[in-house]
Amino acid sequence: MTGDGLLALPERLHRLEELAVDLWWSWHPEARAVFRRLDYTLWRATAHNPVRMLRLIPPDKLQEAAQERAFVEIYDRAIAALDDARAARNTWWSRTFPPLSGQSIAYFSAEFALHQSLPIYAGGLGVLAGDHCKEASDLGVPLIGIGFMYPQGYFHQHVSAEGWQEESYERLDWNDAPIEPALTPDGKPCVTAVPLGDRSVLLAVWRVRLGRAKIYLLDTDLEENAPWDRELSARLYGGDRETRIQQEIVLGIGGVRALKALGSDPGVFHLNEGHAGFVVLQRIRDLIEHGSSFDEALEEIRHSTLFTTHTPVPAGHDAFPFHLVEKHLAGAWGTLGSNRDRFLALGAYDNGSGSQFNMTALAIRSAGVTNAVSRLHGQVTRAMFEPMWPDLPEDERPVTSITNGVHVPTWIAGELVELFAKYLGADWLERHDDPALWEGVLAIPDAELWAVRQSLRRHLFTFVRERARQRWTEEHVGIPRVVAAGTLLEPDALTIGFARRFTGYKRPELVFTDGERLARILNAAGRPVQIVFAGKSHPADDIGKHHLQRVYKRALDPLFAGRVAFVDDYDLHVAHFLVQGCDVWLNNPRKPLEASGTSGMKAALNGVPHLSIGDGWWAEGFDGSNGWMIDGGKSGENFDEVDRADANALYRLLEEDVVPAFYDRDASSVPRRWIALVKEAIRTVAPRFSARRMVKEYVDRMYAPALAGRSRQLTIDK
């Protein structure tokens, strides 16, 4: 929304637009209720986009709502809650760290997944960043996110009759997005410049509000810029190496400059993945300008920078040939002058194909602390970057871990919010990272919890069927594709979900290793099982697209009797239905390539137990009774052998444990054993793998000590 004030709101509802443009609404049921109730048809038609709703809604509908007492009451409650949230009084942060008031933390990320109405993310990294910022808002942590506004960030996925993924890029209509121009302290729209090669590129800055937190998004699409520079921020991870390094310069250098222009002076810089490593360059420059030597500047930066790494494979880390770095940083050195080579040395790293400028190496060498995103990933990272610390034994290498978590209010189903309020206490959300609170789950009557689980599965099928109907009526796809979209799924059958990026290491076809055996499991009389797949492949990843195609062909195959479905165009919206509505969440990556994974946490929190390889978060999350661990007992480079063993282990679990537990019912048709598993999944996963636990850990172990050091320094300086 660009704030041109075209919308004529009734006086009684004059803050409706303000509510729509603050994504805080998206995780507060009382605020969601306002828009759902305002116009339910539009709410659904816009995939829950209130900004767009307000553009489309007939004025008399608004007038009517303003007259309706019940609606006005809901509206008033939501506005009061929003004001309360923004006021930032009496938050966890303010209570726990009073001396740090007035400080802030900058959180840099190339993507943020906040809501489907702001498609500036590709996958898990973005979801993590979005959840981190929302939780920071809830806790009152003064976090400022910095990222990119990609007008064509996210592509829509279409799957052809042959199962081939096709992409369409839809230009985001900025009037439909929850963004506003970011203003400088004197009230002007912020524009800043970033040096790229021998030219200067201008950046506009957008602001996203999340209650107490905010995110600034950088945008090169300004008329003053050359056409190719205007396109720089068009797509996430778009184009070739040259585009990529320029995007990263814009994010790192431009981000630090934008913060300054906006009057922010963060005490901590958190780099979420290596993409933002050039933050370090701009900060060294600034410090040298203020009289520091290179070494003093680097020392200061180490005290105030932390780096989170997410990639357990060497090739997954961004690295550039030095000539590219020199070319595009030509105008960026400024006061660095003769220390240029020292900066370049910070990034030098040879991961097997000669020395390159490696963004992860830069970030590790300039951050005071580096963290991996699960315990296992911590071990893998320390081993992988061994050449960086040739003299240090593994346990002394400076990489710790903070396991990921998910934002509970965002991912929890509405019906469970109410059920937990009834049995855990009306204030359960306030205390949701307290493991003791979750003991209360054991007291929920099985039949009540089962009724909610059944209802959530049915919501999923309503959604799946509606999408299939749309493809049939609007796009006239053939009948096999209507079947593949999930039309024949049964609302009461055991439903396995598998939704994530289609890429080799996630082994999307593992469950089809022995098609006949799987067909027997799916088609068993009286105990049907079905699998719902969703996920995109990176547009440039043909291998991933072949994986997707092979899965899609299974959805078309009568052998599986319409019990394998593929839901297209996976995004946050689809993810919500899947993680809440399936019965089991399947995850079978090739260990140890899944750094953490988060979709399984979202599922478990909703009472959907995890059926997973012991990789990423599940290596520490599985306790023997809260789900299942797939372990074929083989590892190593013979992938065929490993895959066969893992597939066998998966079939055995399905045949002997999962299916019997689900279909074993008591006299009143309640699956007692199943509900015990559901309860264990919720009880053990919800507190520990919440973004609340995660953000508090970042604060306690990293942000607060860094900020406290800064406060001390400031007082000494005076």
Ligand X SMILES: *Cc1c(COP(=O)(O)O)cnc(C)c1O
Q: Closest CB to ligand X among 116 and 684?
A: 116
Among the listed ranges 383-391, 469-477, 568-576, 689-697, the one in contact with ligand X (CB under 6 A) is 568-576
Pick from 39, 135, 509, 571: which binds ligand X (CB under 6 A)? 571
Least gap, CB of 580 to ligand X (angstroms):
12
Interface residues for ligand X in 307-366 (CB under 6 A)? none
What is the C-alpha end-to-end distance of the chain, expressed in Å?
Answer: 44
Cα separation, 607 vs 685, whole angstroms = 10
Least gap, CB of 117 to ligand X (angstroms):
14
In angstroms, what CA-CA distances link 217 with 189, 206, 224, 250? 13, 5, 18, 11
Least gap, CB of 534 to ligand X (angstroms):
9
Q: Closest CB to ligand X among 368 and 607?
A: 607
Least gap, CB of 119 to ligand X (angstroms):
10
Q: Closest CB to ligand X among 518 and 567?
A: 567
- DSSP run (H or E) holding 356: strand 355-358
Contact 252, 279 (CB under 8 A): yes
Least gap, CB of 157 to ligand X (angstroms):
12
Pick from 117, 599, 684, 690: which binds ligand X (CB under 6 A)? 599
> How wide is the angle at C-alpha 691 spanned by C-alphas 688 and 696, nearest 5°?
85
Q: Closest CB to ligand X among 109 and 351?
A: 109
Q: Reduce the DSSP state of residue 224 to 3 states and report it.
A: coil
Q: Reduce the DSSP state of residue 498 to 3 states and report it.
A: strand
Q: Closest CB to ligand X among 79 and 603?
A: 603
Q: Closest CB to ligand X among 12 and 573?
A: 573
Least gap, CB of 307 to ligand X (angstroms):
20
Q: Closest CB to ligand X among 233 and 580?
A: 580
- At residue 490, φ and ψ (nearest 5 deg) are -100, 130
Interface residues for ligand X in 104-143 (CB under 6 A)? 123-124, 127
Least gap, CB of 89 to ligand X (angstroms):
32
Q: Closest CB to ligand X among 267 and 597?
A: 597
Q: Which two tokens stand for residue 323?
A: 């000539």
Among the listed ranges 455-463, 466-474, 517-525, 596-604, the one in contact with ligand X (CB under 6 A) is 596-604
Number of chain positions touching ligand X (CB under 6 A) = 13
Helices (H), 272-339: 279-289, 294-304, 322-329
Among the listed ranges 75-83, 264-272, 481-489, 571-579, the one in contact with ligand X (CB under 6 A) is 571-579
Least gap, CB of 124 to ligand X (angstroms):
3
Question: What character string, x for contact with ligand X (CB under 6 A) and - otherwise, covers 517-556?
Answer: ----------------------------------------
Give the number of residues written for the chain. 718
Q: Closest CB to ligand X among 328 and 547?
A: 547
Cα separation, 115 vs 27, whole angstroms = 10
Q: Closest CB to ligand X among 121 and 294?
A: 121
- Cα 261 from chain centroid (whole Å): 28
Among the listed ranges 83-91, 267-275, 566-574, 696-704, the one in contact with ligand X (CB under 6 A) is 566-574
Q: Closest CB to ligand X among 571 and 646?
A: 571
Q: Reduce the DSSP state of residue 225 to 3 states and report it.
A: coil
Q: Closest CB to ligand X among 356 and 404?
A: 404
Pick from 105, 245, 575, 593: which binds ligand X (CB under 6 A)? 575
Cα separation, 104 vs 646, whole angstroms = 46
Least gap, CB of 178 to ligand X (angstroms):
18
Cα separation, 630 vs 646, whole angstroms = 7
Least gap, CB of 597 to ligand X (angstroms):
4
Least gap, CB of 127 to ligand X (angstroms):
4
Taken in order 236, 241, 242, 247, the sign of the CA dihedral is positive
* Three-class DSSP labels, 17-60: HHHHHEHHHHHCHHHHHHHHHHCHHHHHHCCCCHHHHHHHCCHH
Q: Closest CB to ligand X among 382 and 602?
A: 602
Q: Which amino acid is at 181?
A: P
Contact 639, 442 (CB under 8 A): no
Q: Closest CB to ligand X among 483 and 575?
A: 575
Cα separation, 371 vs 415, whole angstroms = 36
Cα separation, 454 vs 539, whole angstroms = 36
Q: Closest CB to ligand X among 127 and 196?
A: 127
Cα separation, 72 vs 34, whole angstroms = 9
Pick from 28, 244, 257, 500: which binds ligand X (CB under 6 A)? 500
**Residues of 53-78 as b/e, b for ≥16 C-beta within 10 angstroms?**
bbbebeeeebeebbeeeebeebbeeb
Question: What character string, x for contact with ligand X (CB under 6 A) and - otherwise, covers 4-43?
Answer: ----------------------------------------
Cα separation, 579 vs 499, whole angstroms = 9
Least gap, CB of 95 to ligand X (angstroms):
31
- Cis amide prior to 609 (ω within 30 degrees): no
Tell me if 247 contacts ligand X by CB under 6 A. no
Least gap, CB of 125 to ligand X (angstroms):
8
Cα separation, 271 vs 363, whole angstroms = 8
Question: What character string, x for contact with ligand X (CB under 6 A) and - otherwise, covers 359-398?
Answer: ----------------------------------------
> How wide is the angle at C-alpha 270 spanned by C-alphas 268 and 271, nearest 5°?
145
Q: Which two tokens stand for residue 134?
A: 């929302």
- At residue 587, φ and ψ (nearest 5 deg) are -145, 110
Task: Please give the torsion angle defined by the CA atoms of residues 617, 618, 621 and 625, in that order, rounded to the nearest 10 degrees.
Answer: 170
Tell me if 572 contacts ligand X by CB under 6 A. yes
Tell me if 598 contacts ligand X by CB under 6 A. yes
- DSSP run (H or E) holding 422: helix 414-424
- The counts of H helices and E strands in the chain are 31, 21
Least gap, CB of 599 to ligand X (angstroms):
3
Among the listed ranges 22-30, 39-47, 138-146, 598-606, the one in contact with ligand X (CB under 6 A) is 598-606
Least gap, CB of 533 to ligand X (angstroms):
13
Binding region for ligand X (CB under 6 A):
123-124, 127, 500, 570-572, 575, 597-600, 602
